[in-house]
Structure 1
Amino acid sequence: MRLNQTFLYLLMGGLFVSGLLGQGLAAAEENLRQPNVVFILADDLGWSDTTLFGTTKFYKTPNVERLAKRGMTFTRAYSSSPLCSPTRASVLTGLSPARHGITSPTCHLPKVVLEPVVSRSAAPNQKATIPESVTRLDTDYYTLAEMFKDNGYATGHFGKWHLGPEPYSPLQHGFDVDVPHFAGPGPAGSYVAPWKFKDFDHDPNIPDEHIEDRMAKEATRFMEQRADAPFFLNYWMFSVHAPFDAKQNLIDQYRKVVDPSDPQRSPTYAAMIESMDDAIGTLLDTIDRLGIADNTIIVFASDNGGNMYNEVDGTTATSNAPLKGGKATMYEGGVRGPAIVIQPGVVKPETHSDAIIQSIDFYPTLLEMLAIAPQPEQSFDGISLVPALQGGKLSREAIFTFFPHSPGIPDWLPPAVSAHQGDWKLIRIFHGGQDGAHRHKLFNLHDDIGERNDLAEKYPDRVQQMDALIQQHLEDANAVCPLANPNFDPAKYDITQEGKASLKGGAKEAKTPHARPAGKPVAGWQPSGTCKLSLVAGGLQVQSDGNDPHFSYQLSEPVVGAKLWLKIRMKSDSAGQGQVFWKSNDAPYAAERSTFFDVYHDGKLHDYEVQISPTGSTQGIRLDPSRSRGTIEILQMQLTTENDELVKQWSFN
């Protein structure tokens, strides 16, 4: 039948056949054409900030789920750093921050530093020095964008950059287009117009235009204009970085469904998440409408963990639970996030992988996906993820996170580097031990995803083996590492928590906001951090005006060789996890002698039981009931043995 029709049309001038041939050639050209690549990088999006892993009921991310249905979701995806600029440089170079030297998000500052600088000394309350970070992505690097450009791709960057202004902008790193051509750490002024970008105004017909809506429109225009040739769209979202503001109608909607007992309860942050997700939906809708979905690779990731420490709507911005910590920490909450890779016809849809991956892997992965060879003598710290994307295993010894800084946040650590190897994670704290030696924390993430149990003393051989890998990585990368501080004064150093630092002498990187001098003891409890204590109506009232309320009690007689339980009845309108510390001898309170517990901040009475597991005697107790401002009332508190024998009962009359 088709031959007869074709013969008939040939007799009529061959128009139909020429049309068929034209369509066939176009289809063949499409099949032979290199695939488009869309790289979506969210800013500060935590592991629990999407609906991918069942960790939130408050946020809505249906378009992230659309991505997941088209490709492979990685459950153990790590950023190269717990802060943004180092990770962004790693995405574009495939190199570790230990190698490229950008280890701090200072690329918007005026000072140009192209090589990391060794610091020989530090304040007397610091055991280690802190190197000076590189502040610009050097144009000598052959970036991912330059690779695409040299292989015939149109290249466009949309959104946040934070790797340096001119002459280190996207336009000097291989991008044809850069919108809004802005080098700052977040959106200029706000998410909702009017903005404060120098050369980029909102649509006058949309007075309250959202920056993510506008970026998605700009990216859509880029794809529409280049749909007939391969393109690389680098969509680096401003969301969900500070400042914290959003569309008012969305904030109002989420405010109506806030659960006070849910650690994720900021309506503003939830609205920001929804606008981020909407932008992803716009990109997907455009790809589908243009008919290029089957020939488009999509990568989705975050530059670091969720921001647990800024206050929004009277609470923390978000929670990374069950992970410990958040943005700017070396704990899982600071570096672990969502990641999805899509390659139609190659990566099976709706699949998952528990392979350990990192930001440094995306560059070599895309090279293999596109069958493009690296430059002569070009090498990577990352590896190709193609074996995992095809359902197999990855072959690597470990991944490393180099963070030689010490930001003043609740889950604070001194300068450190970590290694992930299988289920194990080792953190080396530079010169944090005795006499300038390194100190280590070891966690088994399979059994302890919240990093509560430090196993370094229990498994010294594993510590030694993994620390040797860390050392090899640092030497291979020629990393500029912290040195032992020759000015260190033990009398000015007091780690009351590696997780909440209190440093005598007030180092700028670890100073707690709103901290006040210790007040007088109340019922034997010594207030500290950001709280004051008082007795009210048969209870102990804790009032905090910051993110670090805590208070301690020195037992009159030490409890020797017994596991204990601290039993508390209290109510709170604050925010964040609670934590109990114990100490023996003259040792300070420290994270390895502490236990986290979840607190309901709904203004209602709740009972809590927190286990204390000392290796020797217990001489003191410290309670951190929250991580935010607010009022807490404790009506009952007891310390008992495992056999429920009373050790101490506090009276608050």
Structure 2
Amino acid sequence: MILNKISLPSLLFFACIAGGMFSPNGDLLAAKPNVVFILADDLGWSDTTLFGTTKFYKTPNIERLAARGMTFTRAYSSSPLCSPTRASILTGLSPARTGITTPNCHLPKVILAAEATATGPPHLKATSPNSVSRLKTSYYTLAEMFKDNGYATAHFGKWHLGSAPYSPLEHGFDIDVPHWAGPGPAGSYVAPWRYPDFDPQTPDEHIEDRMASEAVTFMEQNQGQPFFLNYWMFSVHAPFDAKQALIDRYAKQIDPNDPQRSPTYAAMIESMDDAVGTLLDTLDRLKIADNTIVIFASDNGGNMYNQVDGTTATSNAPLRGGKATMYEGGVRGPAIVVQPGVVAANSRSDEVIQSSDFYPTLLEMLSIPKQPDQTFDGISITPALRGGSLDRDAIFTYFPHSPPIPEWMPPAVSVHQDDWKLIRIFHSGEDGQHRYELFHLAEDIGEQHDLSAKHPEWVQQMDALIEAFLVDTDAVRPQPNRRFDPAKYRPDLEGIGRLKNSAARPAKKSAKPRGKPVAGWQPDGTCTLKRDGDALVITSDGGDPYIIYGLPKPIPQQPLILRFNMRSNASGRGQIFWREQDVRPPFLAARSVKFDPEHDDATHQYAIEFTPSSPIDAVRIDPSTSAGQIWISNIRLTDRAGNVLHRFTP
């Protein structure tokens, strides 16, 4: 009865004293908001319905999340590849500072300090440093901060920052499900999968359905205390598979003129979106949504290079490039921040944000001080969340590597300042000097017009920012390649970091084949070959294993797809070559396609499309660039319609 005589401001004061606060509907809530961090894998800027860039994909739950908070139109990952961005989220630091600049954290070798290299392939002008391969436990991670402030912590899904003793359990998380250190899902999205000690509950269970279910259980068990739920999806990373019913439904909706036309990828997007809906439904059902901060982001741009359903996985249009490139399509993605009662519902911001901003932002949102000696490369974006602008000079993306993909670029670093973007391409100019590309994104979002020659003053000013950033982060930089041979240099091949065939010369043959043919396949390079049941087993003792098969009769010229299953514990890029009839030398870089194997000791399916210019009479598979064992089975050559033109029987 006494409370009836107390004013509302006094009531709020006493509620705060008691350790509580009120929601907008008047319910008394815990003082510490819950935090749910949803990170999609390889989700591009045009892969959701947030920006009007897709007609094919359906993401109603992501739209539902956006209606509760603020959508950022210019959100950037800290790297165009996953592991560097993930480390950046957990530390608030740039990949230039952590040294994690490639997604190599699933590989056996433990590297805790980045190392500069002096030499590289002779056709490249610059070297790439050796990346750190584990997130060191000396960092005070986001999860450790939450745990020290009384939060229950749990990680669900992809990690890719190292296995024990560098797993989520050593970085502040109480729970880690399915405790998997690989670069993607183990084997497939739809069961049966191959996670150790984590079996499917139904024969065809989808991993995102299962992860969402596990996350629901965690929220139910911890609804009475603050929790930090780190839901890092496997979706929509390769391998590309999905619920068959969804694939069949999207297959009926394809527009052949739409660059987004893979029914499998569309089905993967829907399952990802369903998981978001499951989390939102649970927050609502438990009546804790009003006291929960939700962040949604992607670790890098969309994968527009791998083949699925006879086409590319997705398109990032109108952005240029995709995953693993320094162009906008590689680093720009969707981002949403929700905090009911603080962040305006259904709001938008054009402020530039980056992955390293989330840690300092959460500290300010929760009024938690940083550690005395803790520094961040990111900033708090709370002024933007309140509808204002950010006080920052620029953001930087450090990617000192050169993946062998279309839209390739030699090792580079970029700076975004206002509407301008400058890319410094290390040692790629004349006499070992840097080369530059300058874009005005407000007028050229597709980065089609390099303005570096027209605005040298902007290049000079923005490059000074880059240099200051590299010095401040103590970045291990690319070096001029001492082995660079101008006679072997071709600009169109400069980005191919693993080119066995120098320039356009034939591939170097070993002096003697490494063994007798097995089922028609000749081992060569650095490997031997044997048969194990229905599989070919390649054992490599170096960086150049490959096997060659001469077809019994030529396959007519047409678009072709080489399909096979592969399990590997090696590392590095893969590549296939084809030999065109009566054309010598036999295997050229111009007649090859690169692909990204999953070297996680799980079986994955590959479908690599290529279009020869004449009939072919041989194929060659280069499965890795390191020592290790590789199992390959169910190899067949098909047309785009899936008709088998030749089956390679072991």
Bucket of the pairwise TM-score, normalised by the shorter protein: 0.7 to 0.9
* Partners of 1:161 and 1:183 within 8 A in 2: yes
Query: What is the aligned counterpart of 1:78 among 68, 76, 79?
Result: 76
Stretch moving more, 385-394 or 490-499: 490-499
TM-superposed deviation, 1:495: 1.2
* Partners of 1:124 and 1:492 within 8 A in 2: yes
Which residue does 2:403 correspond to in 1?
Answer: 407
Give the distance between the partners of 2:398 and 2:354, measured in 1 at CA. Answer: 13
Matched, 1:326 2:322: yes
What is the DSSP-based 3-state SS (H/G/I as helix, E as strand, rest coil) of the residue aligned with 2:368?
A: coil
Which residue does 1:127 correspond to in 2?
Answer: 125
Opposite residue 488 of structure 2, the aligned amino acid is: K
Change (3 A) 1:430 1:337: same
Change (3 A) 1:211 1:88: same
Change (3 A) 1:202 1:87: same
Give the distance between the partners of 1:142 and 1:151, measured in 2 at CA. Answer: 13
Matched, 1:464 2:527: no
Change (3 A) 1:148 1:27: closer
* Partners of 1:530 and 1:548 within 8 A in 2: no
What is the DSSP-based 3-state SS (H/G/I as helix, E as strand, rest coil) of the residue aligned with 1:199?
A: coil
* Partners of 2:19 and 2:30 within 8 A in 1: no
Q: How does 1:639-650 map to 2 (within 5 A)?
A: none
* Partners of 1:406 and 1:510 within 8 A in 2: no
Which residue does 2:394 correspond to in 1?
Answer: 398
* Partners of 1:410 and 1:547 within 8 A in 2: no
Matched, 1:248 2:248: no
Opposite residue 352 of structure 1, the aligned amino acid is: R
Opposite residue 318 of structure 2, the aligned amino acid is: P
Which residue does 1:595 correspond to in 2?
Answer: none
Give the distance between the partners of 1:339 and 1:490, measured in 2 at CA. Answer: 44
* Partners of 1:519 and 1:528 within 8 A in 2: no
Query: What is the aligned counterpart of 2:134 among 133, 136, 159?
Result: 136
Change (3 A) 1:489 1:50: same
Which residue does 2:111 correspond to in 1?
Answer: 113
Opposite residue 304 of structure 2, the aligned amino acid is: M
CA deviation map 1:473-519 (0-9, x unaligned): 01100000000011110111101277899966179989975376899
Change (3 A) 1:545 1:233: closer
Change (3 A) 1:174 1:121: same
Query: What is the aligned counterpart of 1:505 among 502, 507, 512?
Result: 502
Q: How does 1:40-439 map to 2 (within 5 A)?
A: 40-203=38-201, 206-439=202-435
Opposite residue 190 of structure 1, the aligned amino acid is: S
Give the distance between the partners of 1:156 and 1:630, measured in 2 at CA. Answer: 43
CA deviation map 1:62-113 (0-9, x unaligned): 0000011000000000000000000000000000000000000000000000
Change (3 A) 1:499 1:69: farther
* Partners of 1:296 and 1:343 within 8 A in 2: yes
Give the distance between the partners of 1:262 and 1:166, measured in 2 at CA. Answer: 44
Opposite residue 165 of structure 1, the aligned amino acid is: S
Change (3 A) 1:43 1:25: closer
Give the distance between the partners of 1:497 and 1:452, measured in 2 at CA. Answer: 20
CA deviation map 1:212-236 (0-9, x unaligned): 0000000000000000110000000
Give the distance between the partners of 1:229 and 1:376, measured in 2 at CA. Answer: 27
TM-superposed deviation, 1:120: 1.2
Which residue does 1:636 correspond to in 2?
Answer: none
TM-superposed deviation, 1:123: 1.5
Q: Which has the larger radius of gyration?
A: 1
Unaligned runs of 5+ in 2: 5-14, 504-542, 545-571, 594-606, 615-638, 642-650
Opposite residue 344 of structure 1, the aligned amino acid is: P
Opposite residue 514 of structure 1, the aligned amino acid is: F
What is the DSSP-based 3-state SS (H/G/I as helix, E as strand, rest coil) of the residue aligned with 2:258?
A: coil
Which residue does 1:16 correspond to in 2?
Answer: none
Change (3 A) 1:407 1:179: same
Give the distance between the partners of 1:39 and 1:404, measured in 2 at CA. Answer: 28
Give the distance between the partners of 1:547 and 1:133, measured in 2 at CA. Answer: 31
Stretch moving more, 490-499 or 46-55: 490-499
Opposite residue 217 of structure 2, the aligned amino acid is: R
Give the distance between the partners of 1:550 and 1:477, measured in 2 at CA. Answer: 48
Q: How does 1:22-37 map to 2 (within 5 A)?
A: 30-37=28-35
Give the distance between the partners of 1:434 and 1:137, measured in 2 at CA. Answer: 37
Query: What is the aligned counterpart of 1:514 among 548, 557, 577?
Result: 577
Opposite residue 79 of structure 1, the aligned amino acid is: S
Give the distance between the partners of 1:517 and 1:269, measured in 2 at CA. Answer: 32
* Partners of 2:403 and 2:495 within 8 A in 1: no
Which residue does 2:557 correspond to in 1?
Answer: none
TM-superposed deviation, 1:295: 0.4
Give the distance between the partners of 1:501 and 1:133, measured in 2 at CA. Answer: 15
What is the DSSP-based 3-state SS (H/G/I as helix, E as strand, rest coil) of the residue aligned with 2:577?
A: coil
Give the distance between the partners of 1:455 and 1:262, measured in 2 at CA. Answer: 30
TM-superposed deviation, 1:177: 0.5
Query: How much is the aligned-residue C-alpha RMSD, in angstroms?
Result: 3.0
CA deviation map 1:7-32 (0-9, x unaligned): xxxxxxxxxxxxxx9xx997769445
What is the DSSP-based 3-state SS (H/G/I as helix, E as strand, rest coil) of the residue aligned with 1:449?
A: coil
Opposite residue 379 of structure 1, the aligned amino acid is: T
Give the distance between the partners of 1:427 and 1:529, measured in 2 at CA. Answer: 30
* Partners of 2:35 and 2:294 within 8 A in 1: yes
Give the distance between the partners of 2:476 and 2:216, measured in 1 at CA. Answer: 42
Which residue does 2:626 correspond to in 1?
Answer: none
What is the DSSP-based 3-state SS (H/G/I as helix, E as strand, rest coil) of the residue aligned with 2:155?
A: strand
CA deviation map 1:627-653 (0-9, x unaligned): xx979xxxxxxxxxxxxxxxxxxxxxx
Opposite residue 317 of structure 1, the aligned amino acid is: A
CA deviation map 1:432-479 (0-9, x unaligned): 001110000111111111111111111111011111111110110000
Change (3 A) 1:26 1:366: closer
Change (3 A) 1:495 1:252: same
What is the DSSP-based 3-state SS (H/G/I as helix, E as strand, rest coil) of the residue aligned with 2:183?
A: coil
Opposite residue 303 of structure 1, the aligned amino acid is: D
Change (3 A) 1:306 1:474: same
CA deviation map 1:355-395 (0-9, x unaligned): 01000000000000000000001010000000000010001
Percent identity reads 69
Q: How does 1:7-18 map to 2 (within 5 A)?
A: none
* Partners of 1:137 and 1:163 within 8 A in 2: yes
Opposite residue 50 of structure 2, the aligned amino acid is: L
Opposite residue 440 of structure 1, the aligned amino acid is: Y
Change (3 A) 1:513 1:399: farther
Opposite residue 123 of structure 1, the aligned amino acid is: P
Query: What is the aligned counterpart of 1:474 among 456, 464, 470?
Result: 470
CA deviation map 1:23-65 (0-9, x unaligned): x997769445210000000000000000000010100000000
* Partners of 1:530 and 1:549 within 8 A in 2: no
Give the distance between the partners of 1:398 and 1:497, measured in 2 at CA. Answer: 31
TM-superposed deviation, 1:411: 1.2
What is the DSSP-based 3-state SS (H/G/I as helix, E as strand, rest coil) of the residue aligned with 1:402?
A: strand
Give the distance between the partners of 2:164 and 2:583, measured in 1 at CA. Answer: 54
TM-superposed deviation, 1:199: 1.4
Aligned length: 520
Change (3 A) 1:483 1:268: same
CA deviation map 1:302-324 (0-9, x unaligned): 00000001100000000000001
Stretch moving more, 490-499 or 330-339: 490-499
